[in-house]
Amino acid sequence: MKRMFLVVVTLLLAASAVSASTTQKWTAGWDIFTEPLNYKKSKISWSVNPSTSKLTVTFTLAGATPSKLYQVGINFICTTFPATFGQFPVVGGGGTCQPATRQGVTETIAGVDLGVVTTDMNGNGSFTVVVGPITAGTYVLEFIANNGAGCNLTGGGGTTYETCAVDFQSPGPIFGDTTTIIVP
């Protein structure tokens, strides 16, 4: 009985080690600053599984515009970047990162679109994605939520300012404030 209990506890500890995650808040985006959001309840949670080299990210929005699509993704601060990040294509096909100036800050970036948060009638919604396997390395990045869905993807509003404008960033509050994710 004692041995079985220890096995169960070991399994629980192993599971919690894999799923230990970092949670961070959204701030207003670098394009649109008036989109509604409950910044206290909204968040991003992410974790890296070192065994599989996979990154799990959950994007949560609360108190946003009801029944709206927010495309979510990652902007990497970089000089060069591969054509893919895990199983997702990099916007523009990778290579030399592109300069962008927002909020008075200029950085060179590469973007990856990961999915869509769809809000309910209360403006709440979430989306979880597992990315990987990812090439080992240190990634300096910001998470973003666009003002619509279809930026660089088929089947939505297309690559227009209205769709692609960034409503929310994390960590922010200024373009270029970054999170570092290490994939061993």
Partner 1 sequence: MKRIFLVVVALFLSASAASAGTTQKWTAGWDNFSEALNYTKSKISWSVNATTHKLSVTFTLNGATPSKLYQVGIVPFCTTFPATFGQFPVDGGGGTCTTITRQGVTASAVTIELGVVTTDIHGNGSFTVVIGPIAPGTYDVEFQARNGAGCELTGGAGNQTSDCEDDFQSPGPFGTTTTITIP
C-alpha distances (whole Å) from 144 to each of 88, 171, 174 are 16, 9, 12
**2 vs 40 by CB, closer to partner 1:** 2
3-state secondary structure of 115: strand
Rounded to an integer, what distance in angstroms lies between the CA atom of residue 134 and that of residue 26?
24
Within 8 A by CB and 6+ apart from 54, the residues are 48, 86, 130, 131, 132, 133, 134
155 binds partner 1 (CB under 8 A): yes
44 binds partner 1 (CB under 8 A): no
Q: Are 76 and 141 spatial neighbours (Cβ–Cβ below 8 Å)?
A: yes
Stretch (H or E) spanning 118: strand 105-118
40 binds partner 1 (CB under 8 A): no
Smallest gap from residue 87 Cβ to partner 1 (A): 4
Q: Using CB under 8 A, pick the residue from 46, 61, 68, 75 that binds partner 1.
A: 68
Q: 86 to 115, contacts with partner 1 by CB under 8 A?
A: 86-89, 113-115
Q: Are 30 and 100 spatial neighbours (Cβ–Cβ below 8 Å)?
A: no
120 binds partner 1 (CB under 8 A): yes
**99 vs 155 by CB, closer to partner 1:** 155
Q: Using CB under 8 A, pick the residue from 34, 51, 154, 180 that binds partner 1.
A: 154
Residue ranges binding partner 1 (CB under 8 A): 1-2, 4-5, 8-9, 12, 65-70, 84, 86-89, 113-116, 118, 120-122, 124-125, 127-128, 147-150, 152-158, 163
